[in-house]
Homo-oligomer: A and B are copies of this chain.
Amino acid sequence: MDLIEDIVTPFNIQASEKGVDYDKLIAQFGCQKVLPAHIKEIEEITGKKAHHLLRRGIYFAHRDLEMILNTAKMKKPFYLYTGRGPSSAALHLGHMIPFILNKWLQEVFDVPVVIQITDDEKYLYRQELSLEQVKHFSRENIRDIIACGFDLNKTFIFTDTSYINFLYPNFLKMQKHLTVNQIFGCFGFNGSDCVGKIAYPPLQAVPAFSNSFPHIFRNKNDIPCLIPEAIDQDPYFRLTRDIAPKINYLKPAVLHAKFFPALQGLHTKMSASDENTAIYLTDSKKEIERKIKSFAFSGGGKTLQDHREKGANLEVDVPFQYLSFLMEDDERLDEIRQKYGKGEITTGEVKKDLIGLLQKLVEDHKVKKKEVTDELIDKFMEIRELDVKL
């Protein structure tokens, strides 16, 4: 019996080397499993094969996903809400996951996406950061996000400080209906934390209410919202869903991803605070090769003989996990699963595949990012009507 509980909060992830026990987490958080029936329904509604992040169970848990699928089935509007905390200028692969899925969902469901850049949060939570630094990070992060391919006509990106006048009324409504003790309990804060830290969490709720975006949804109220994010963000949306009915708003639906593991193993997620745990979207081909070769934790046998006999433990193998998140080719991934699992190919060979894939992915991203002009950033952030079916 595993006596050590996983720690999963918006600020800290700690698990055993086997990674987070996601079934336990679902039970603990009180959300639901994404089932094959959900995936099938998405495919039926959109007429498209589901994204591999869905098919491979990386987006594995939800709340009220059926509500969104029913809305889509009735050809009624819904929208996607995701975000990013701009704690550094460079993003890593783990940061890309929600944007990859949101971009895909936008495309196949033909729905708007709102993207919150929580510059206020990072300023308040990181002692060492100034507002100016965080604003710079925000702009660079937005550049990366746009490079993921979002549709300008259906996407609104905003920083909290630039859009606060639209967010503030709903922020106040949330703040009036949450006690300090509830925030303490939900996030593990206490009285010696700065008041901004305690005040912030309700702001992450606000983009889940469609009347925060009058320029997008005009006079239509209560457009359903789906929030695809990593599961560490769940506490924010548990609060949101608790309070929503008290202020006469619809509860948002959530779709939660597993963590993109650190190079060193599944005990924690890829983190921007230690650069050797992460592949950055700015890394050179050489750096990618070096990091994967030096750091990516192998589930293979300790000796070649051992490996040939027992095969690799794919559950803890970082290269294989990364391929599951990022390799689009199902057949090739399945071949690797079979052969690597049986010990027929080595970690070195799998890493070679991964290095090639990451180098291409990062280089492609760099090209797309170069095309993102300052003017285009301003366009995505402009408060404007979107091309949305209401």
Do residues A194 and B176 form an inter-chain contact, with CB atoms below 8 A? Answer: yes
Beyond known contacts A164-B168, A195-B199: 8 more, CB 8 A cutoff: A123-B172, A161-B165, A175-B196, A180-B180, A180-B189, A180-B193, A180-B194, A198-B199
Among B179, B182, B194, point to the contact of A177 (Cβ < 8 A).
B194
Main secondary structure of the interface of A (DSSP, over half): helix
Do residues B195 and A191 form an inter-chain contact, with CB atoms below 8 A? Answer: no
A178 within 8 Å of B (CB atoms) = yes
A184 within 8 Å of B (CB atoms) = yes
The proximity string for A residues 107-131 relative to B, scoring 1 for CB distances below 8 Å and 0 otherwise, is 0000000000000100110000001
Among B123, B173, B179, B190, point to the contact of A176 (Cβ < 8 A).
B123
Chain A, range 129-184, C-beta contacts under 8 Å to B: 131, 161-162, 164-165, 168-169, 172-173, 175-184
Among A162, A180, A183, A202, max chain B CB count under 10 A is at A180
Q: How far is the CA of A197 from the CA of B124 in the complex (A)?
A: 18
Taking Cβ atoms with an 8 Å cutoff, the residues of A that contact B are: 120, 123-124, 131, 161-162, 164-165, 168-169, 172-173, 175-184, 189-196, 198-199, 202
Do residues A180 and B191 form an inter-chain contact, with CB atoms below 8 A? Answer: yes
Among B120, B162, B175, B184, point to the contact of A191 (Cβ < 8 A).
B184
Rank and list the top 3 A-B pairs by shortest CB-CB distance, nearest first: A175-B196, A199-B199, A181-B191
- Give every chain B residue within 8 A of A189 (Cβ-Cβ): 180
Q: How far is the CA of A173 from the CA of B120 in the complex (A)?
A: 10
Q: How far is the CA of A195 from the CA of B199 in the complex (A)?
A: 6
Do residues B124 and A175 form an inter-chain contact, with CB atoms below 8 A? Answer: yes
Q: What is the chain B residue whose CB lies nearest that of A120?
A: B172
- Give every chain B residue within 8 A of A124 (Cβ-Cβ): 172, 175-176
CB proximity of A381 to chain B, nearest CB, Å: 14
- Give every chain B residue within 8 A of A120 (Cβ-Cβ): 168, 172
- Give every chain B residue within 8 A of A179 (Cβ-Cβ): 191-195
Do residues A175 and B195 form an inter-chain contact, with CB atoms below 8 A? Answer: yes
Do residues A194 and B168 form an inter-chain contact, with CB atoms below 8 A? Answer: no
Count of this chain's copies in the oligomeric assembly? 2
CB proximity of A215 to chain B, nearest CB, Å: 15
CB proximity of A177 to chain B, nearest CB, Å: 7
Among B123, B165, B182, B192, point to the contact of A181 (Cβ < 8 A).
B192
Q: How far is the CA of A162 from the CA of B193 in the complex (A)?
A: 29
Among A177, A195, A199, max chain B CB count under 10 A is at A195
Q: How far is the CA of A180 from the CA of B184 in the complex (A)?
A: 11
Q: How far is the CA of A184 from the CA of B193 in the complex (A)?
A: 12
Q: What is the chain B residue whose CB lies nearest that of A129?
A: B176
- Give every chain B residue within 8 A of A169 (Cβ-Cβ): 131, 161
- Give every chain B residue within 8 A of A192 (Cβ-Cβ): 179-181
- Give every chain B residue within 8 A of A190 (Cβ-Cβ): 180
Among B123, B164, B168, B180, point to the contact of A195 (Cβ < 8 A).
B180
Q: What is the chain B residue whose CB lies nearest that of A175?
A: B196
Q: How far is the CA of A162 from the CA of B165 in the complex (A)?
A: 7
Do residues B195 and A178 form an inter-chain contact, with CB atoms below 8 A? Answer: yes
CB proximity of A73 to chain B, nearest CB, Å: 35
Q: What is the chain B residue whose CB lies nearest that of A121?
A: B172
Q: What is the chain B residue whose CB lies nearest that of A134?
A: B172
CB proximity of A174 to chain B, nearest CB, Å: 8
- Give every chain B residue within 8 A of A164 (Cβ-Cβ): 164-165, 168
19 of the cross-chain contacts (CB-CB < 8 Å) are A120-B168, A120-B172, A123-B172, A123-B176, A131-B172, A161-B165, A161-B168, A175-B194, A175-B195, A179-B193, A180-B180, A180-B189, A180-B190, A180-B194, A183-B195, A184-B191, A195-B198, A196-B199, A198-B198
